[in-house]
């Protein structure tokens, strides 16, 4: 009986390990499968035009067979960096205050707020941006800086995306700061450092790797967001020269046109190349982040 039980346990362990290995292997292959699928679907366009020609040209006229992605790439990078610079400092300072100064009930309340913000659908953020942010920027903010704007511009997209990035970025920053051993802070304070000096030279330095990863998560979230962006950014194919001009990021290009213009030759392949470009940019951001973390931990 004991032998049968042992054999049964051994087989249960083997099957369990097999399932776990299969699921883990699938997760490892998932980005590769997505990237490979996008490359295959983009191949007709890549076979006809050089990759450098596609990403370096501003000529966008699918009816005439012109597919230049430069304006879309610039628009995506503009709006991503803008949302990053609007959200990253606020999130970092908020995380420092909540984890180092605020009472416990306030931090618990903020976790609830983070859950609410993370659960709001993108289209709700977009509708809020159209009703509140766009008129505000068009009627008040742009004139203050001497620009005329409809409000459908890079700044509106950046503000909406910055707010959408907050729950992900702030939650991770708080976890990073909370997981730093309290002994480090106590040692610094016992040596005569002020509380702010301890935060600046001990906590932020110790949590640098996690902070970089949290900021990268915010960038990736902003870069790939679609619905909210296309509702407020204007969707005009051009290289914006200031934050009050409209733009046309890659996610908006895909969401606006997929399914409607598939009869145009090469258009489906062009949209898949748009997705591939987003995929490549996100991978490059992650490689850069990992390199920074590696340098930090070396």
pLDDT in tens, 83-122: 889 999 999 999 999 998 889 899 899 999 998 988 888 8
Residue 156 confidence (pLDDT): 92
Q: Which residues contact 278 (CB under 8 A, 6 or more apart)?
A: 76, 223, 224, 250, 251
Cα separation, 290 vs 295, whole angstroms: 8
pLDDT in tens, 156-190: 999 998 998 888 889 889 988 888 888 888 888 88
Residue 95 confidence (pLDDT): 92
Residue 2 confidence (pLDDT): 67
For 66, phi then psi, to 5°, come to -105, 120
Residue 251 confidence (pLDDT): 84
- Could you tell me which of 124, 296, 99 has the C-alpha nearest to residue 203? 99
Q: pLDDT averaged over the chain? A: 86
Contact call for residues 68 and 60 (beta carbons, < 8 A): yes
Half-sphere exposure (Cβ direction) of 5: Cα atoms closer than 13 Å: 2
Residue 260 confidence (pLDDT): 65
In this prediction, residue 293 has a pLDDT band, given cuts at 50, 70 and 90, of confident
Residue 15 confidence (pLDDT): 80
Residue 86 confidence (pLDDT): 92
Residue 281 confidence (pLDDT): 86
Predicted confidence (pLDDT) at residue 262 exceeds the cutoff of 70: no
**Higher-pLDDT residue of 259, 137:** 137
Predicted confidence (pLDDT) at residue 296 exceeds the cutoff of 80: no
Residue 93 confidence (pLDDT): 93
In this prediction, residue 66 has a pLDDT band, given cuts at 50, 70 and 90, of confident
Percent share of the chain, pLDDT over 70:
96
Residue 70 confidence (pLDDT): 92
- At 191 the three-state DSSP class reads coil
Residue 210 confidence (pLDDT): 83
Residue 250 confidence (pLDDT): 86
What superfamily in CATH does domain 52-295 come from?
MetI-like (1.10.3720.10)
Residue 1 confidence (pLDDT): 60
In the chain, where the domains are located: 1-48, 52-295
- Could you tell me which of 187, 126, 180, 181 has the C-alpha nearest to residue 157? 126
Predicted confidence (pLDDT) at residue 221 exceeds the cutoff of 80: no
Mean pLDDT across 237-260: 85
Rounded to 10 degrees, the C-alpha dihedral 277/281/287/290 comes to -140
């Amino acid at each position: 009986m004991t032998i049968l039980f042992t054999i049964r346990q051994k087989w249960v362990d083997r099957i369990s390990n097999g399932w776990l290995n299969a699921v883990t292997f699938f997760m490892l292959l998932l980005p590769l499968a997505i990237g490979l699928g996008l490359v295959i679907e983009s191949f007709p366009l890549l076979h006809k035009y050089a990759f450098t020609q596609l990403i370096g040209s501003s000529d966008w006229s699918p009816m005439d067979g012109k597919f230049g992605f430069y304006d879309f790439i610039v628009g995506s990078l503009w709006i991503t960096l803008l949302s990053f610079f609007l959200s990253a400092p606020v999130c970092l300072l908020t995380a420092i205050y909540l984890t180092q100064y605020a009472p416990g009930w306030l931090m618990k309340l903020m976790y609830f707020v983070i859950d609410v913000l993370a659960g709001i659908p993108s289209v709700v953020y977009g509708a809020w941006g159209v009703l509140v942010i766009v008129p505000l920027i068009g009627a008040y903010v742009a004139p203050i800086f001497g620009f005329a704007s409809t409000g459908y511009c890079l700044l509106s997209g950046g503000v909406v995306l910055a707010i959408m990035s907050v729950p992900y970025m702030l939650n991770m920053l708080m976890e990073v700061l909370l997981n730093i051993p309290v002994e480090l802070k106590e040692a610094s304070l016992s040596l005569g450092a002020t509380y702010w000096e301890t935060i600046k030279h001990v906590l932020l330095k110790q949590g640098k790797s996690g902070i970089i990863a949290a900021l990268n998560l915010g960038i990736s979230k902003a870069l790939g967001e679609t619905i909210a962006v296309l509702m407020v950014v204007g969707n005009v194919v051009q290289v914006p020269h200031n934050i009050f001009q409209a733009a046309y990021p890659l996610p908006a290009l895909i969401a606006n046109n997929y399914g409607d213009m598939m009869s145009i030759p090469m258009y489906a392949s062009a949209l898949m190349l748009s997705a591939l470009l987003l995929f490549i940019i996100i991978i490059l951001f992650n490689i850069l982040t990992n390199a920074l973390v590696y340098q930090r931990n070396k």
